[in-house]
Chain A
Amino acid sequence: MTVRVAHVLPDLLGSHGDRGNALVLVRRLNWRGIAAEQVTVHAADGHVPGNCDLYVLGGGEDIAQVAAVRVLNRSTQLLRTLRRGVPLLGISSGFQVLGESFVTGDGARHEGLGLVDASTTPGTQRVTGEVTADSTLPRVGTLTGFENHLGQTRIGAQEQPLGRVTSGIGNDEDTTDGVVHGHVVCSYLHGPLLARNPKLADLLLEWALGEPLEPIQEPPEIDQLRRERSCRPVRARK
């Protein structure tokens, strides 16, 4: 069986390298000798199919978010698949569209998919920079990534954040980043998130496969990058 990783709507939500998350998932299976392929779903396809094992949604402009919600709402098979516990990762705009609602730059409020209890409003200024957070998920440890967003997201009191921010902003001023609801995982972190945080990638894969993965020899540069990014200089040089 080939594991199918769906890269959802990169033509709408695909300007921050989050497509890398899909590549990382496929490669980490390949490295273990497990057959896997990336399935790219474009807006022109009309809907997102339900026959994939893991779904990845990235960040983009807010005008594109509205179009993305339209396509996702039409994807009844996808929504049924997600209810079965197939994992979905949403980053930045991909996080916002999965929430209850979001407000775009023009002040208009839009309904999201309501898969997680989160609502987003535009902040006063764009938040950019490196983030580190302690993950609330087992065995994932420290999360590292780069945030770049105007939106401020409030997650419901019952919701579990993905991480407790130790450096950077994340969702809002409540020192949380993202949200975890069942197997739906959301975050503001680019990098891409799964390239920076291989343990989170493997956890999503274990959820998709329904069984533990063999450990692999991590390429050394991944850990070097994680260490470099979590003790980076405070300000960029000119």
Chain B
Amino acid sequence: MAERGRDRTTRGQFGGADTERAHHREAAHAVPRPTPPSEPTTSTEVTQERERAPQRTWTLVPARRRTDVRSLLAVRIGRAAAMLSRVCGFGGGGTIGGRVALAVQPDLLRRLTTGRRVVLVTGTNGKTTTTQLTAEALRAAAPAVTNATGDNMPAGHIAALLQHRNAPFAALEVDELHLARVTEQVEPAVIVLLNLSPDQLDRVGEVRTVATSLRGALERSPRAHVIANRDDPNVVLAAALHPAVTWVSAGPQRRADTWICPQCGSILTNLDQEWHCSCGLHCPDADWVVTDAGVVGPDGVQRALELRLPGHINRVNATFALAVGTSLGASAEDVLQRVRGMQQASGRYAEVRLNGRDVRLLLAKNPASWVEMLDLIGEHTRPVLLLVNSRVADGQEVSWLWEVDFDFLAGREVWVGGERALDLAVRLRYAGVPCRVTETAWQALGRMPEEDIDVLANYTAFRDLLTSKEGA
């Protein structure tokens, strides 16, 4: 919490002043208790909640509630569709079940979340892992459901909520362009904003559009507690005006675009430190700071993270989970104990055996996450298999491969595959990294050296490798 002397008015606008911060923290604990839909939370109840001491343990109030016939029907039919899909071998069935249930009862998301404390996690990178870490963190206090498959659209949310209808907590990963829509139906207790960088350029459009859409979603959720990345100017633009924000310092983003102020278009300076813009947008004071040694919380205590998940990026993800868990009443120690145990999140970072090889699976969907995952790969000299597809879910444009540095792979055994294997091959040629092009990931693994292998893949290539081994 540096720069105490900064202009109060500006600081206040961005939730920086300490007195206001303390008030917000209390308010943040004043999340409405679970109530049946017939008794909507009134402002009186919120006031009573505010007067309570912020530290307390949750009494478990079952989230079961009376449901209307249509919703019951939606749930039943959705479950049947999911089971049918599983039996027929189409996959886990969750998403199709959610879709069917939504078709029967379009209002289902609101009905299934009423009375639960819902955490919505969004941002470009780290959503799935952070959502998993958050669910685990919340389980330190009470049962939690989550869309573990990474299906971050409403159908996936329904599927998650159907898993355990009495769980008081739900940690839901939300696509950044869908947060606004989800908050029309869901009143979240906490919204997590991780980061914003260009993702799938041909689909999502410009980052600032996303930031503006997120800002709208936050305006619609004035009672939510926002936990946001203060190092990312686009995230700050989205969250700065919200009345209750906890800021996490995750270390500067490496993306060049964030050098432009998303509010006024000026060039930002000091992005690696306390960035500020002449228009008033600036880096707010941090409540949680990720350090090389661990994490420092708002209580000033430094805690070691000691995660099994690799890399700096997961220390950041875990810190967001820690901030969520503690804001919803769990103790930091209990949360840490749980998140330390996590080895993988929906297959990400999983160590598996494929075609006779021990493989570490790394997912990277866009330039920012490729940089992060290549950092992990750079920690040793294992053979590497890179897989890139360009389907709708991946984004059709793969020119971002040229935003990423591959030079350090020179001298290692490198194979490339996926639908865009040739783009990778040309990219690596110009990076001075010899590579071999493979028809399928499975074949490549069989021909690679019999040692530990890192596989780095983008979204559908990763999914294919996880689900259909022979054909991948």
Q: Contact: A219 with B426, CB < 8 Å?
A: yes
B260: which of A64, A128, A224 is its contact (CB, 8 Å)?
A64
Q: Using Cβ atoms and an 8 Å threshold, which residues of chain B touch A23?
A: 402, 430-431
Task: For residue B16, give the distance in angstroms from its CB to the closest CB of chain A.
Answer: 25
Cβ-based interface call for B400 (8 A): yes
Cβ-based interface call for B35 (8 A): no
Task: For residue B410, give the distance in angstroms from its CB to the closest CB of chain A.
Answer: 13
A190: which of B262, B397, B429 is its contact (CB, 8 Å)?
B397
Q: Contact: B422 with A17, CB < 8 Å?
A: no
Q: Contact: B267 with A44, CB < 8 Å?
A: yes
Q: Using Cβ atoms and an 8 Å threshold, which residues of chain B touch A66?
A: 265
Q: Which residue of B is nearest A198, CB measured?
A: B426
Q: Using Cβ atoms and an 8 Å threshold, which residues of chain A touch B206?
A: 61-62, 105
Cβ-based interface call for B208 (8 A): yes
Q: B235-268: which residues lie under 8 A (CB-CB) from chain A? A: 255-257, 259-260, 262, 265-267
Given contacts A14-B256, A64-B257, A238-B391, contact A221 B396 (CB under 8 A): no
Q: How far is the CA of A18 from the CA of B198 in the complex (A)?
A: 14
Most chain B CB inside 10 Å of its own CB: which residue of A18, A44, A221:
A221
Q: Using Cβ atoms and an 8 Å threshold, which residues of chain B touch A85?
A: none
Cβ-based interface call for A49 (8 A): no
Q: How far is the CA of A19 from the CA of B367 in the complex (A)?
A: 13
Q: Contact: A67 with B397, CB < 8 Å?
A: no
**Interface mask (A6-30 → B, CB under 8 Å = 1, otherwise 0):** 0000111011111110011001000
Cβ-based interface call for A161 (8 A): no
Q: Contact: B422 with A224, CB < 8 Å?
A: yes
Q: Contact: A16 with B201, CB < 8 Å?
A: yes
Cβ-based interface call for B393 (8 A): yes
Task: For residue A23, give the distance in angstroms from its CB to the closest CB of chain B.
Answer: 5
Q: Contact: B403 with A15, CB < 8 Å?
A: yes
Q: How far is the CA of A197 from the CA of B24 in the complex (A)?
A: 56
Q: How far is the CA of A129 from the CA of B391 in the complex (A)?
A: 12
Q: Contact: A67 with B260, CB < 8 Å?
A: yes
Cβ-based interface call for B392 (8 A): yes
Q: Contact: B403 with A44, CB < 8 Å?
A: no
16 contacts between A and B (CB under 8 A): A11-B256, A16-B397, A16-B399, A16-B400, A19-B403, A43-B267, A61-B257, A62-B206, A63-B260, A64-B257, A64-B260, A126-B202, A129-B202, A221-B422, A237-B391, A238-B393
Given contacts A43-B259, A146-B396, A146-B397, contact A225 B265 (CB under 8 A): no
Q: How far is the CA of A213 from the CA of B201 in the complex (A)?
A: 35
Q: Using Cβ atoms and an 8 Å threshold, which residues of chain A touch B265?
A: 63-64, 66-67
Task: For residue A32, give the distance in angstroms from its CB to the closest CB of chain B.
Answer: 14
Q: Which residue of A is nearest B424, CB measured?
A: A221
Q: A214-230: which residues lie under 8 A (CB-CB) from chain B? A: 219, 221-222, 224-225, 228
Q: How far is the CA of A195 from the CA of B400 in the complex (A)?
A: 13
Q: Which residue of B is nearest A23, CB measured?
A: B430
Q: How far is the CA of A233 from the CA of B198 in the complex (A)?
A: 25
Task: For residue A66, give the distance in angstroms from its CB to the closest CB of chain B.
Answer: 6
Q: How far is the CA of A113 from the CA of B437 in the complex (A)?
A: 43
Cβ-based interface call for B269 (8 A): yes
Most chain A CB inside 10 Å of its own CB: which residue of B256, B429, B431:
B256
Q: How far is the CA of A60 from the CA of B259 in the complex (A)?
A: 12
Task: For residue B283, give the distance in angstroms from its CB to the closest CB of chain A.
Answer: 17
Task: For residue B467, give the distance in angstroms from its CB to the closest CB of chain A.
Answer: 14
Task: For residue B396, give the distance in angstroms from its CB to the closest CB of chain A.
Answer: 5
Q: Which residue of B is nearest A12, CB measured?
A: B260
Q: B214-240: which residues lie under 8 A (CB-CB) from chain A? A: none
Q: Using Cβ atoms and an 8 Å threshold, which residues of chain B touch A195?
A: 402, 426-427, 430
Cβ-based interface call for B466 (8 A): no
Q: Contact: B425 with A225, CB < 8 Å?
A: yes
Q: Contact: A18 with B397, CB < 8 Å?
A: no
Q: Using Cβ atoms and an 8 Å threshold, which residues of chain A touch B422?
A: 221, 224-225, 228
Q: Using Cβ atoms and an 8 Å threshold, which residues of chain B touch A94?
A: none
Q: Using Cβ atoms and an 8 Å threshold, which residues of chain B touch A62?
A: 206
Task: For residue A37, give the distance in angstroms from its CB to the closest CB of chain B.
Answer: 15
Q: Contact: A17 with B257, CB < 8 Å?
A: no
Q: How far is the CA of A73 from the CA of B396 in the complex (A)?
A: 34
Q: How far is the CA of A10 from the CA of B255 in the complex (A)?
A: 10
Q: Contact: A14 with B396, CB < 8 Å?
A: no
In the complex, the 7 A-B pairs of residues with the closest C-beta atoms, listed nearest first: A20-B402, A17-B399, A17-B402, A128-B202, A221-B425, A225-B422, A190-B399
